[in-house]
Amino acid sequence: MFEDVISFIQNTYKTKEFIPLHEPRFIGNEKKYLNECIDSTFVSSAGKFVDEFEEKIASYTGAKYAIATSNGTSALHVSLLLANVEQNDEVITQALTFVATCNAIRYCGAQPIFVDVDRDTMGLSPSALKGFLENNTTVKKQQCVNNKTGRVIKACVPMHTFGHPCRIDEIKDICNKYYIFLIEDAAESVGSFYKDKHTGNFGQVGVMSFNGNKIITAGGGGCIVTSDKRLAKKAKHLTMTAKVPHKWDFNHDMVGYNYRMPNLNAALLVAQLENLDNFIHSKRKLANMYEDFFKATDYTFVKELAECKSNYWLNSILLQNKQQRDEFLNEANSQNIMSRPIWTLMNKLPMFEYAQFDDLTNSEWLEERVVNIPSSVINMN
């Protein structure tokens, strides 16, 4: 039933051996910079590569400041703290997301609220967000209060799913109207642009991930980007155990976190950044090949919208229903082609089944149909 798809993927990657979903490419100065880092003996959270990475990722994204973190989840946690999210506050996000988003909300003692996504972006729907806020909240003293729970909704965390930008400008306008702090989950969208602006720059802060399966990687790692000097200063302070700078004294002025990115990881990332544009060029070429192929099939390839430039981190197709999705996953994986479904909706997980959620029709529709197919960089031409 899926022979043509499997054959196309095998021919594209020129192998019938195992084809991973997304493997890293180390083709530049990674070993050189790692050796330099080791020779310097600065392998932990202090060293020149951490500072260099922060400068270069800020420049690349157009943000004024970048704060390197140990991973994307820690960056989300700190970003929520920057929004003053506290015990029993609430945070709006999408049910169709990776679990780290909701875990970070719970780290703060806050409660998630799930609203729907748009089918074409798979990211938070502005119309669903607007509808939920109009029907369920009241603005009091420049705070958005949930009429049902009486709690304050402090923040909103939309995600740019698989590298495809959501309608973040509309979301920003809605959050501004309701006094909600906007945190962009750009973990998957390094190198993606919406209306010529890099993702992560629409909210007060943006969060990125450099996990081993991301478009550029340090094995782990993340960062916060912002153009707000005050937020940047506080973010760096929190990620460095809130230590007050001094040549020898150990004084800390608040509860901080050991979330600083090690210099070893940063050395990898500096090298990876040097090839980011080449990686994106290759991945967009692969996406075009997939798009052309799937036009002649019964399956839909998920492509970027107008005014978007996606990094196509993970390529996705839509099957006709859950049964066909499961049949494809079984067949592809049995043929050594790693494929996976989209995430289980967060409101279905036992940790979050108590959470308030709005109509999730689009999220449920996508959950039953979306499959990610191999998306590794195939060449550098």
Residues 261 and 123 in one domain: yes
Are 37 and 149 members of one domain? yes
Same domain, 66 and 188: yes
The answer on 253 and 288 residing in a single domain is no
**Residue 366: exposed, middle, or buried by beta-carbon count in 10 A (0-12, 13-18, 19+)?**
buried
pLDDT at 245: 85
Same domain, 142 and 228: yes
Query: How do residues 21-44 score in pLDDT, each as one tens digit?
Result: 999 999 999 999 999 999 999 888
Mean pLDDT over 369-373 rounds to: 98
Among 273, 291, 311, identify where a domain stops: 273
Q: Do 220 and 265 lie in a common domain?
A: yes
175 and 262 in a single domain? The answer is yes
Residue 199 lies in a domain: yes
Q: Residue 378: inside a domain, yes or no?
A: no
Query: By residue range, what is the domain housing residue 153?
Result: 30-273
Same domain, 351 and 245: no
Same domain, 64 and 161: yes
**15 belongs to a structural domain:** yes
Q: What is the pLDDT of residues 123-173, one digit of tens each?
A: 999 999 999 999 999 999 999 999 999 999 999 999 999 999 999 999 999
Q: Of 273, 295, 325, which residue sits at a domain end? A: 273
Number of domains in the chain: 2
248 and 119 part of one domain: yes
pLDDT, averaged across the chain: 96
Domain boundary among 237, 258, 273: 273
Is the pTM for the entire model greater than 0.75?
yes
Span 253-308, pLDDT tens digits = 889 999 999 999 999 999 999 999 999 999 999 999 999 999 999 999 999 999 99
Percentage with pLDDT > 90 across the chain: 93
Query: Which CATH number do you get for residue 251?
Result: 3.40.640.10
